[in-house]
Amino acid sequence: MKRAASTSDPLWFKDAIIYELHVRSFQDSNADGIGDFPGLLSRLDYLRDLGVTCLWLLPFFPSPLRDDGYDIANYVDVNPSYGTLNDFKLFLDAAHQRGMQVLIELVVNHTSDQHPWFQAARRAPSGSTERDFYVWSPDNQRYKEARIIFSDTEKSNWTWDEVAGAYYWHRFFSHQPDLNYDNPAVMEEVLKAMRFWLDLGVDALRMDAIPYIYEREGTNCENLPETHVAIKRFRAAIDEGYSNRIILAEANQWPTDVRPYFGDGDECHMAFHFPLMPRIYMALRQEDRMPIIDIMAQTPTIPDGCQWALFLRNHDELTLEMVSSDERDYMYYSYSADPRMRVNVGIRRRLAPLLDNNRGRIELLNSLLFSFPGTPILYYGDEIGMGDNIYLGDRNGVRTPMQWTSDRNAGFSRAVPARLYAPVIMDPIWGYQAINVEAQLSDQSSLLHWTCNMIALRKLFHVFGRGTLEFLSPANRKVLAYIRHYDAPDGHSETVLCCANLSRFAQPVELDLAHLAGRVPVEMLGYVPFPPITDKPYPLSLAPYSFFWLELQPGPEAPRPSALPQQNEATEIIMRPLKPSNEVAENPPST
């Protein structure tokens, strides 16, 4: 019998609002300067009130933390800094009680070099099962077509291990050796780890770096056919033993190369739409919808039971791998004037600093995030417009403590400030004194309230998570207009016209909505009816960076002809009170 999930809807992920957070960064409960599970549990009510429905936790497993936890030393335990396994269980239950699902990482491609598997492998004889948990070579000349992903720090995908007397393969940091999936034992161990967490009740698994799990000579070692065989095994194991659990693929590839990760509905349930994200920023800066239209045109349809995961920012750099070199340069010029803001092939800034803290831009991009086809993912702190610290190494500048209050340590921890795992943001614009949850909760006009309201609005409609997408092509390219439509199984349908002004100046636009003539657009935030649609171009005026969500409701029915004689306007209708039947009339009629 399959283990039940916390939700009974197999497509819960299509309507989800995912919130990505790092346990370490969210709330410290024991004043050691590091966030932990008890602290996170104490903040679940905030997350519930925000309206998010699924929490994505960055890796919290035992780790030397040389890659912020993605270098795993033990797949089936909790880093003691974050608490115990029991703390995790308590958190998981509490989240479920509040109607939230939990998504955790399954870092399938590599481990830490401190993992017992690697420590055994480097000492094991060549050709042994233990040795073959990883990919070894006597030289560093194999797989030369494979690119280096962490180009800022690594010069090769091979590193010499003195103990092993051989080179080992790693697509990421040199302290993260790649697992060898050609060894069946590896798959078995990873499946064990996967089942461990699913047995506890975890709702979803994010398969980190899934395109890189196989290597073959003469290829770029990405998206190989064997990868999909492996994913099918993961999926089959989940479907066999669990209900309503999902796999989210992290495949930073072109849309057509991501499509295979959905399989025929027998691989991953969800996958990130990486190429869309930088193009949203490009379209905004260029004030031209074409980058978005272009990438969506290249996005293939996916199986009905699958879903794209959409995001504006995350814990990593704003990746620019899936853009052309000119587009990459443009993005660097546009969003990272200071070279310190760049790392690898991307930009390590948070949402608000990227947009120069412009509230209009922030709301506009969030409106796209919430209305595009897919499941939106919010990065922790972006709901209050948190800033970043580009002077911290690697991607740590976007992983600073959550800013809860204007008190010491932003209310994140009672520890001595110097003990925090990272300094809080403290500049005049984005510092915790100015940007914090407490202040924004008491400010009805805050970004936090706006985000809450938008999430709540989105959750009223299934169309955003489950509907189709049709782009309109108005002459004004600074306006992005599209229609979302959903036919529900119960017969009702939802149609929403979304219109976004990508420009910093007001824009006019005329939309061809003739095929929807007769419908009445109703602005969804204020429930204000707009003029009915006719067969003529529908004019709209958009303020700078503004957007409309207009629900296209059926027009009013024409009144049916009345059976009663028509009364002219001069006729008075005199209402006389009814007399009781036993009352004697004052002037009874004479007989």
Per CB under 8 A, residues contacting another protein are 285-288, 326, 329-330, 333-334, 337, 355-356, 358, 361, 504-505
**Closer by beta carbon to another protein, 72 or else 542:** 542
Task: Select 356 or 535, whichever has its Cβ closest to another protein.
Answer: 356
| Cβ 358 to another protein shortest distance, Å | 7
The radius of gyration computed from the CA coordinates of the chain, to the nearest angstrom, equals: 28
C-alpha to C-alpha distances, 506 to 137, 248, 362, 478, nearest whole angstrom: 61, 39, 17, 10
Cβ nearer to another protein, comparing 266 with 287 = 287
> Exposed (0-12), middle (13-18) or buried (19+): which is 274, by Cβ within 10 Å?
buried
∠ CA 570-574-580 to the nearest 5 degrees? 165
Rounded to whole angstroms, how far apart are CA atoms 166 and 126? 10
| CB 420 within 8 Å of CB 413 | yes
Nearest CB to another protein, comparing residues 471 and 505: 505
- Nearest Cα to Cα of residue 116 among 124, 127, 106: 124
Looking at beta carbons only, is 263 or 544 nearer to another protein?
544
| Assigned token pair, 185 | 């034992």
Least gap, CB of 281 to another protein (angstroms): 11
Q: Are 248 and 268 in contact (CB under 8 A)?
A: yes
Distance of CA 441 to the CA centre of its chain: 23
How far is residue 102's CA from residue 244's CA, in Å, rounded to a whole number? 12
Q: How far is the CB of 544 from another protein (least distance, A)?
A: 9
CB of 109 to another protein, least distance (A): 34
Catalytic residues: 208, 250
Residues 548 and 497: beta-carbon distance below 8 Å: yes
Nearer to another protein, 131 or 285 (CB): 285
> How many Å apart are CA 453 and CA 447, to the nearest integer?
10
Residue 288 Cβ vs another protein, minimum distance, rounded to whole Å: 8
Give the shortest CB-503-to-another protein separation in angstroms.
10
Rounded Cα distance between 521 and 532, Å, is 6
Tell me the closest approach of the beta carbon of residue 352 to another protein, in angstroms: 13
C-alpha span between 243 and 131 (Å, rounded): 35
Nearer to another protein, 35 or 385 (CB): 385
Task: Record the tokens describing residue 445, joined without a space.
Answer: 């006009």
* 3-state secondary structure labels for all residues of 429-478: CCCCCCCCHHHHHCCCCCHHHHHHHHHHHHHCCCHHHHCEEEECCCCCCC
**Structure tokens of 194?**
């996967």
Residue 434 sits at φ, ψ, to 5 deg, of -95, -40
Using an 8 Å Cβ cutoff, are 448 and 46 in contact? no
If the CB atoms of residues 280 and 306 are measured against another protein, the closer one turns out to be 280
Main-chain phi, psi angles of 264, to 5 degrees: -105, 40
Task: Measure the CA–CA gap between 246 and 206, rounded to whole angstroms.
Answer: 9
Query: H or E segment at 136?
Result: strand 136-137
| Least Cβ distance, residue 367 to another protein (angstroms) | 17
